[in-house]
Amino acid sequence: MKEIDLFDKIYGAWTGKVAGGTFGMPVEGRSRVVITNMHPPLDGWSKHHKQGINDDEQYELITILALEELSDDEFANKFKAGTILEPDYLGSYWLKYLLPQYVFTAEKAAYDNAKDGVPWEHAGDYVYEHKGKVYGNEYADWIGAQMKGELYGMLLPAWGWYEDSKNDLELLKPCLDLSLQDAIIAHREVGIVGELFISAIIAVAIAHNPFEYKEEINFPKSAVHRWDKEEDEISEGFKQQVDQAGICSETIISDIKRIKSVLLEYASLKDSISTEDVEVYYSFIDPIIDTYLDNPDSREWETNFYAKTKKDWQKTLDGLWWLFERKMVKDAISRFKDFPSMLERRLNSFSKSKAVHTLFNNGAIIVGLLYGDGDFIQTVRISTLCGADTDCNAGNAGAIIGAYLGQKLIPSYAKRFIRGEIIPGLKEWKDKSIYNLAERTLTQAERFKRFMSL
C-alpha cells in the first residue's frame, strides 16, 4: 500500500484553499443570479480573477506564528494542559499582526472588544458587561470561524480513520480540541461548530489515500440520444465498484455522516457548544446529502437547490435559510431582551447575514463537494455559483478537495494562475510561497505528533 505523504496533503490543502478563495473572490457577497449572468461566465479562470489579499487566510497564518514562537518546553506544557492556543495567548498575536482594514464582522467585534479591555475569553460573547459598559458580538454565529478551520486538520490528521478498528472520536478529538481553542476567540454556537466541522473533514481527508482507492459509485439514470429515433431512450441508473485515483462523493458523504456522529458526541462533553448546535449546523447539510443520494446527476444540481416551484422548496438552500432566519429573529428578541442596544445591533445585522452566516454558506460548501464529485475545478466552481460568501466557500471546499487529493493530483489548471503564491495581509509576513507555508505547517504537525507520543 502506498504510504500517504503528509507534506503532499498539507501542500494540497493550502493550494486548494488559496486557489478556491481566489476563484470565488471576484463575486463575494453576490447572489447566484448575478454570478450566473456574468460575462464572461465564471466557469473557469477569467478576466474577473486577480490575485490579492484574502482575509480568510490570515488567521491561520497568525496561528502558525503563535506556534512557532513557543519553545519546545512551552509547547509541551501548554499542549499537556490543553491551553496551547488559549484566548489570551492567541489574541495577543491578533493584536500584534492583524491589519485593521482586513478585519471584519465577528473577528472585528472581538478585536475591538479586546482592544477596549474585554478579556479575550469573552471577546466573542453575544453580550458581555465590563466595567459598567455592555459589549457584544452580534456576528458570533457567522462564517469567520468556519473559514479558518483547515489548519487544525492539517496539524492533527485523523490517521486510521479508514481502519475499522479505530474509534472516531478518539481520532478526531486532538484536532477538535485545538480547533475549539481557536474558534472561541470570536465565535459561539453554530459559528464554533463550523470551524470544528472544517477542521475535522480536513483531518479525515488527509488520512484518505487517493492512490489506493475503491468505491461503489451510484451512476444516475440518463437520456441516451439515438440518431435513428425521434425520442431519447432512458438508461436506468446503476451502481458499480470502481478503482480510481482521487475521491468521489460517496466517500465524502460517508465521512460527513461519521463526522456528525463525532461532533454530537464531542458536544455532549463540552460546555461551549451543545448537541443542538450540531443538529442546527447539519440541518443545512443533511437535506443536501438526501437530495444528492436521490439524484447524483451533476447536471441538475441547480434545479435541486434553487427551483422554487419544487414541492420540497423548503429543502432548497433559499428555503432552508428562510426557515432559519425566522428563528433568528425570535432568538434575538429573547436573547437580547435586557440589552436593547445589542438587540438593535443584532437585528440590523440580519439584512446581510445570509451572505456571511455559517449556515447558508456551509450548504454551499457541501453542494460543491458532492456535485463536484472529486473534480477540483468543478467543486470550487459550484460552491462559488451558490453565491453568498463565495471566497470563503470556494476556499473551504478547495482546501477539503485539495486535502483529499494531495498536491500531486490537483490539476495544473487549478495551480497555474495562483503561481504557487499566497498574498499575505499581515504585518511582518512577507513570504508568498505556498510551498514554504506547507513546510512550516508540516514542521508544526510533526511537533504535535512528537509531543502526543510522549
Residue 66 to residue 54: CA distance in whole angstroms: 20
**DSSP percent split of the chain into helix, strand, coil, nearest 5:** 60, 5, 30
What integer pLDDT is reported at residue 126 of this predicted model? 97
> What is the identity of the amino acid at 75?
F
Nearest to 323 by CA among 276, 367, 366, 280: 280
Q: What is the full DSSP assignment across 412-429?
A: HHHHHTTTTB----BTT-
What integer pLDDT is reported at residue 21 of this predicted model? 97
pLDDT digits (tens, 9 = 90+) for 213-232: 999 999 998 888 878 777 88
What integer pLDDT is reported at residue 314 of this predicted model? 65
Q: Which residues of the chain have pLDDT under 70?
A: 1-2, 165, 307-314
Q: What is the full DSSP assignment across 200-242?
A: HHHHHHHH--TTSEEEEEEEPPEEE--TTSSSPEEEPPEEEEE
What integer pLDDT is reported at residue 225 of this predicted model? 83
What integer pLDDT is reported at residue 392 of this predicted model? 97
Q: How far is CA 120 from the centre of its chain?
A: 23
What integer pLDDT is reported at residue 429 of this predicted model? 92
Note if the pTM is more than 0.75: yes
Instruction: Mark out the alpha helices in 241-274 (DSSP H runs).
Output: 249-267
CB atoms within 10 A of CB 83: 13
Check if the beta carbon of residue 190 is closer than 8 Å to that of residue 358: yes
Go through 368-403 and write b for each residue having 16 or more CB atoms within 10 A of its CB, e for each that does not: bbbbbbbbbbbbbbbbbbbbbbbbbbbbbbbbbbbb
Only one residue has cell 513546510, namely 439
Fold of 6-216+246-452: ADP-ribosylglycohydrolase fold (1.10.4080)
Q: If DSSP codes are grouped into helix, strand and coil, which group holds residue 13?
A: helix
Q: Give 365's Cβ-side CA count (13 Å radius).
A: 37
| H or E segment and range at residue 134 | strand 133-136
Q: Where are the domains of the chain?
A: 6-216+246-452
CB atoms within 10 A of CB 359: 28
Check if the beta carbon of residue 171 is closer than 8 Å to that of residue 200: no
**3-class SS string, 156-173:** CCCCCCCCCCCCHHHHHH
What integer pLDDT is reported at residue 313 of this predicted model? 64
What integer pLDDT is reported at residue 154 of this predicted model? 98
Only one residue has cell 475569553, namely 121
